[in-house]
Amino acid sequence: MSLVLANTPIDLVTEGLGLTGAWAWFVVAVIHTILIGLFFGIPAGVFIWAERKVSGRIQDRLGPTRVGGRFGWLQSAADGAKLIQKEDLVPKDADSLLFRAAPYIVVVASFAAFMFLPFGDGWSAVSTDVGLFLMFAMLSLEVIGVILAGYCSGSKWALFGAMREAAQMISYEIPMAICALIPIIIVGSLNLNEIVRFQSGEGGFPSLTLLNWNIFHPIAAPAFILYFVCATASCKRAPFDLAEAESELVAGFLTEYSGMRWSFFFLAEYASMFAVSAIAAILFLGGWDDGVGIVSGLRSSGHEYSASAIGAVILIAKASKLVLVQIWVRWTLPRLRIDQVMTTCLKYLIPMACALFLAAATYPLVLNRANHGRTDLRSPIGDRVPMRAVEASEAHAVLAAPDSTELAAADGEVTQ
Amino acid sequence: MSGEQILFWLFAVTACAGAISVALSQIVVRMAVSLIVCLSSVSALFFLHNADFVGAVQLMVYVGGTIVLLIFGIMLTSSSPFSKIKTSPAEGFLSAGIGALFLSIIAFTVTQVDWKIQSDKVAAAAPVKVSSEGYNAAADGNTARPLALSFLGLRPDQNGQAPGYLLPFEIVSVHLLVVLIGAAYLARTKRRVAPNA
pLDDT single digits (tens) B101-121: 999 999 998 888 887 887 777
Coil, helix or strand at residue A5: strand
- Which member of B63, B81, B145 has the closest CB to residue A129? B145
Q: State whether B59 and A134 contact (CB < 8 Å).
A: yes
Q: Give residue A355's pLDDT band: very low, low, confident or very high (50, 70, 90).
A: very high
Pairing of strands A8-9, A126-127: unpaired
Which residues of B fall within a CB distance of 8 Å from A152?
Answer: 29
Whether the upstream peptide bond of residue A206 has omega within 30° of 0, thus cis, is yes
Is the per-residue pLDDT at A64 higher than 90? no
Whether B26 is covered by a domain: the verdict is no
Return the minimum-mean-pLDDT range out of A253-257, A262-266, A290-294, B69-73: B69-73
B136 with A193: Cβ contact below 8 A? yes
DSSP string spanning A326-346? Answer: HHHHHHHSPPPPHHHHHHIII
- With CA atoms as reference, the chain A residue closest to B66 would be A144
Set of chain B residues whose Cβ sits within 8 Å of the Cβ of A141: 59, 63-64
The mean pLDDT of B70-85, rounded to a whole number, is 65
| More confident position, A164 or A226 | A226
Band of the pLDDT at B2, cuts 50, 70, 90?
Answer: low
B137: chain A residues, CB-CB within 8 Å: 2, 408, 411-412
Average pLDDT of chain A, as a whole number: 78
Q: Is the peptide bond before A380 cis (omega within 30 degrees of 0)?
A: no
A chain contacts of residue B156, beta-carbon cutoff 8 Å: 399, 401-402, 407
Measured distance CA(B47)–CA(A229) in Å, rounded: 32
Q: Does residue B95 lie within any of the structural domains?
A: no
Total-model pTM: 0.79
B68 CB within 8 Å of a chain A CB: yes
User: For residue B179, what are the domain limits?
Assistant: 143-191
The verdict on residue B159 lying in a domain is yes
Is the residue at B20 inside a domain? no
For residue A27, what is the nearest residue in chain B, using CA coordinates?
B3
Decide if B3 contacts A10 (C-beta within 8 A). no
Within a domain: B15: no
- Using 50, 70 and 90 to split pLDDT, how confident is the model at A18? low
d(CA B72, CA B52): 29
The yes-or-no verdict on residue B12 having pLDDT over 90 is yes
User: Which residues of chain B does A6 touch, with a Cβ-Cβ cutoff of 8 Å?
Assistant: none
The alpha carbons of chain B give a radius of gyration, in whole angstroms, of 22
A399 pLDDT above the threshold of 80: no
Closest CA to A44 of A76, A74, A69, A78: A76
> Domains in chain B: how many in total?
1
Contact B33 A101 (CB under 8 A): yes
Average pLDDT along chain B: 77
Query: Is B127 a domain residue?
Result: no
Out of A9, A130, A137, the one facing B135 most closely (by C-beta) is A9
Mean pLDDT of A64-81: 81
For the residues A287-314, what does the mean pLDDT come to? 81
Q: Answer whether residue B2 is part of any domain.
A: no
User: Closest Cα of chain A to B110: distance in Å?
Assistant: 27
Mean pLDDT lowest for which of A35-44, A320-329, B40-49, B74-83? B74-83
Q: Kindly report the number of other CB atoms within 10 A of residue A27's CB atom.
A: 15
- Residue A194 distance to chain B (closest CA, Å): 9
pLDDT at A259: 81
Dihedral over Cα of B71, A139, A107, A323: its sign = negative
B140-195 pLDDT tens trace: 445 666 777 778 777 766 666 677 788 888 899 899 889 888 877 776 666 666 65
Partners of A147 on chain B (C-beta within 8 Å) are: 67, 70-71
Q: How far is CA B58 from CA A126, A138, B10, B42, B55, in A?
A: 18, 11, 18, 8, 5
| Rg of chain A (C-alpha set) | 23
Q: Average the pLDDT over A78-99 and give the result.
A: 83
| ipTM exceeds 0.95 | no
Q: Is A126 helix (H, G, I), strand (E, B) or coil?
A: strand
Work out the percent of chain A whose per-residue pLDDT is above 90.
9
Mean pLDDT of B52-71: 81
B173 within some domain: yes
Q: Quick one: pLDDT at residue A11?
A: 60
- Which range has the worst mean pLDDT, A82-91, A357-366, B66-75, B185-194? B185-194
- How far from B116 is each of A280, B50, B98, B141, CA to CA, in Å? 47, 20, 31, 21
More confident: A392 or A343: A343
Give the tens place of pLDDT for each residue, A158-210.
888 888 888 888 788 889 989 999 988 888 778 888 788 878 776 556 677 77
Q: Report the pLDDT value the prediction gives residue A416, as an integer from 0 to 100.
A: 37
Minimal Cβ distance to B142: which of A21, A97, A129 = A129
Average pLDDT over residues B10-39: 88
Minimal C-alpha gap between A4 and chain B (Å): 7
What pLDDT is recorded for position A281? 92
Among A25, A408, A415, beta carbon nearest to B139: A408
Instruction: Mutate one of B62, B145, B166, B177 to test the A interface: name it (highest A CB count within 10 A).
Output: B145
**pLDDT (0 to 100) of residue B133:** 37
* For residue A231, pLDDT beyond 70: yes
SS3 B61: helix
Mean pLDDT, range A320-348, rounded to an integer = 87
Q: What is d(CA B142, CA B147) in angstroms, rounded to the nearest whole number?
A: 10
Distance between B35 CA and the closest CA of chain A, angstroms = 12
pLDDT value at position A390? 34
The burial class, CB within 10 Å (0-12 / 13-18 / 19+), for B155 is buried
Structure confidence at residue A415 (pLDDT): 41
Helix (H) or strand (E) holding A279: helix A259-284
Query: Nearest CB to A98: which of B30, B63, B128?
Result: B30
Q: Band of the pLDDT at A352, cuts 50, 70, 90? A: very high
Residue A69 has a pLDDT of: 75
